[in-house]
């Protein structure tokens, strides 16, 4: 380029050839300048892209490092802002919220035995003297997404001018008390009804005009039960497989939301009736009765229950909760079984017992039949599948601390364990996270 510049500067401006070279020189300079400018822009743009790409990659890695690998590949943008409602709406579309693991969570429970005065004595593990508190510091983590914490204020807003019934056994009542305690941190619930034995109750949240009821009906079907509060029976249960209990069916139409659950009571000794006639029994000692098994009765009653709710024009929003395994070890509740573990199981460390697996299979089959019928009528039926996550929590039961200070008088006292129900607060609080997620995802 220096040589070109030297030659052009020594030519005469009056020479036509020189004039040609002069114009040619201008053209060359312009071309070179254009080339250099283009090269500079290219280099700058390339550098900018490389830098921008590195920043995005770093942001993505930071996000991915806080989450498990996604089930399918997707683009993650670190610059996209989203609110809680958007997270809630999309969470179950990305993953199965019922499959995952329990992970440590340092945040304290939403309520305690001091901040909620509605706890029943046998669930109040703190007051009853349970010495460890580690069972309080875990949260349920689905495999492929984050599960937002239950938001009591938002839940009450969603339930304004609505009514909800929990219909089933004592585990269901255990769950409802967890929900009432959590909601009461925002607005105090007012108890407006209880039955003679305080097993069925109704609460009202005045500022939201929200009614929340628990209807104790452990079989969902008509039954005569002869046992005390400690589960000791004086005679076999008499269970009618062809009649639902009117204690809930006559109230059903007044509720906007219904949660149905049962299961464990079907494992008890019982005599089965149809058309008011004995047709068999389960685990009974009478030689003249046919052993039909709990599975026969459970399927019959679930089928009857789902046929009832899907046959009506009343379109309540229906949840069905699967049965939850117990954690008795070295015996059953009445033969010295206990549960003294202080940490959750990891996935794969425990298998579901045969009876629980059979019960769960029946539940899934009958529920799928109900969904097939209900969906044609525009009904909402949702499966609240708590079996797996509950199986992994042997540490969350009252155990011997279903009683107040069980070893205060005698350190070697023989005390009945409760390895079926849950301490409050405790793992059962996570069921509310699942329940709300299912509500906002619909």
For the record, the structure tokens of 143 come out as 């495999």
Least confident stretch, 29-33, 138-142, 212-216: 29-33
Which structure tokens are listed for 37?
């400018």
Residue 421 is a catalytic residue: yes
- Which range has the worst mean pLDDT, 2-11, 226-235, 403-412? 2-11
Supply the pLDDT for residue 441: 83
pLDDT digits 0-9 by tens, 356-402: 999 999 999 999 999 999 999 999 999 999 999 999 999 999 999 99
Highest mean pLDDT, choosing among 88-97, 157-166, 227-236: 157-166
What is the rounded average pLDDT for all residues in the chain?
A: 82
Class of domain 97-441: alpha beta
Give the total residue count for the chain.
Answer: 442
Res. 94 pLDDT band, cuts 50 70 90: low
Average pLDDT over residues 56-69: 26
Q: 201-205 and 190-194: which strand pairing?
A: antiparallel
Predicted confidence (pLDDT) at residue 38 exceeds the cutoff of 80 = no
Q: Taking 80 as the threshold, does the pLDDT of residue 442 lie above it?
A: no
252-292 confidence digits (pLDDT tens): 999 999 999 999 999 999 999 999 999 999 998 877 899 99
Residue 334: pLDDT band with limits 50, 70, 90: confident
The pLDDT value given to residue 222: 98
Q: Are 411 and 365 in contact (CB under 8 A)?
A: no
Backbone angles phi, psi at 393, to 5 degrees: -120, 70
Rounded to 5°, angle at Cα 401 from 236 and 294: 25
Nearest CA among 175, 206, 179, 178 for reference residue 190: 206
pLDDT of residue 315: 87
135 pLDDT more than 90: yes
pLDDT tens-place string over residues 198-241: 999 999 999 999 999 999 999 999 999 988 776 677 788 999 99
d(CA 246, CA 262): 16
Task: Give the whole-number percent of the chain exceeding pLDDT 70.
Answer: 78
For the residues of 91-112, what is the DSSP string, one character each? Answer: HHHHS-TTSEEEEE--SPPS--
The active-site residue out of 245, 296, 421, 430 is 421
344 with 102: CB under 8 angstroms? yes
Are 11 and 5 spatial neighbours (Cβ–Cβ below 8 Å)? no
Distance CA 59, CA 87 (A): 19
**Measured distance CA(116)–CA(171) in Å, rounded:** 19
Catalytic residue chosen out of the listed positions 395, 418, 429, 430: 418
* Every domain of the chain and the residues it spans: 2-65, 97-441
86-92 average pLDDT score: 38
Is 385 a residue of the active site?
Answer: no
Which residue in 88, 163, 170, 184 is the catalytic one? 170
Confidence of residue 124 (pLDDT cuts 50, 70, 90): very high
Q: Is the pLDDT of residue 8 over 80?
A: no
Q: How far apart are CA 237 and CA 357, in angstroms?
A: 23
Q: Is 175 part of the annotated catalytic residue set? A: no
pTM, two decimals, is 0.78
């Amino acid at each position: 380029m220096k040589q070109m510049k030297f030659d052009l500067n020594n030519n005469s401006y009056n020479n036509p050839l020189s004039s040609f070279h002069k114009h040619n020189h201008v053209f060359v300079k312009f071309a070179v300048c254009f080339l250099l400018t283009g090269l500079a822009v290219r280099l700058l743009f390339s550098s900018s892209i490389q830098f921008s790409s590195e920043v995005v990659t770093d942001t993505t890695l930071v996000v991915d490092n806080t989450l498990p690998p996604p089930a399918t590949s997707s683009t993650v943008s670190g610059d996209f802002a989203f609110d809680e409602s958007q997270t809630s709406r999309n969470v179950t579309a990305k993953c199965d919220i019922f499959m995952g693991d329990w992970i440590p969570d340092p945040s304290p429970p939403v309520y305690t035995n001091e901040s909620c005065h509605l706890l029943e004595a046998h669930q109040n593990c703190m007051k009853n003297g349970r010495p460890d508190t580690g069972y309080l510091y875990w949260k349920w983590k689905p495999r492929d997404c984050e599960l937002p914490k239950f938001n009591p204020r938002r839940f009450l807003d969603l339930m304004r001018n609505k009514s909800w019934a929990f219909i089933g056994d004592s585990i269901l009542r255990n769950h409802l008390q967890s929900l009432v305690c959590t909601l009461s941190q925002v607005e105090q619930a007012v108890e407006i009804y209880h039955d003679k034995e305080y097993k069925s109750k109704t609460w009202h949240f005045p500022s939201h005009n929200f009614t929340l009821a628990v209807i104790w009906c452990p079989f969902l079907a008509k039954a005569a039960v002869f046992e005390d509060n400690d589960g000791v029976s004086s005679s076999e249960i008499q269970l009618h497989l062809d009649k639902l209990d009117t204690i809930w069916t006559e109230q059903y139409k007044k509720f906007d939301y219904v949660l149905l659950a049962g299961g464990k009571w079907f494992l008890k000794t019982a005599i089965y009736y149809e058309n008011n006639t004995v047709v068999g029994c389960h685990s009974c000692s009478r030689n003249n009765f046919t052993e039909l098994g709990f599975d026969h009765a459970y399927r019959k009653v679930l089928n009857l229950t789902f046929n009832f709710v899907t046959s009506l024009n009343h379109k309540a929003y229906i949840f069905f909760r699967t049965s939850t395994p117990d954690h008795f070890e070295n015996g059953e509740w009445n033969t010295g079984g206990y549960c003294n573990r202080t940490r959750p199981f990891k996935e794969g460390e425990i298998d579901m017992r045969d009876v629980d697996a059979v019960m769960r299979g029946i539940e899934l089959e009958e529920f799928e039949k109900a969904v097939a019928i209900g969906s044609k009528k525009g009904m909402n039926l949702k499966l609240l599948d708590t079996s797996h996550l509950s199986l992994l929590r042997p540490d969350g039961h009252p155990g011997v601390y279903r009683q107040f200070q069980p070893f205060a008088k005698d350190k070697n006292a023989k005390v009945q364990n409760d390895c079926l129900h849950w301490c409050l607060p405790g793992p059962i609080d996570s069921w509310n996270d699942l329940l709300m997620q299912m509500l906002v995802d619909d």
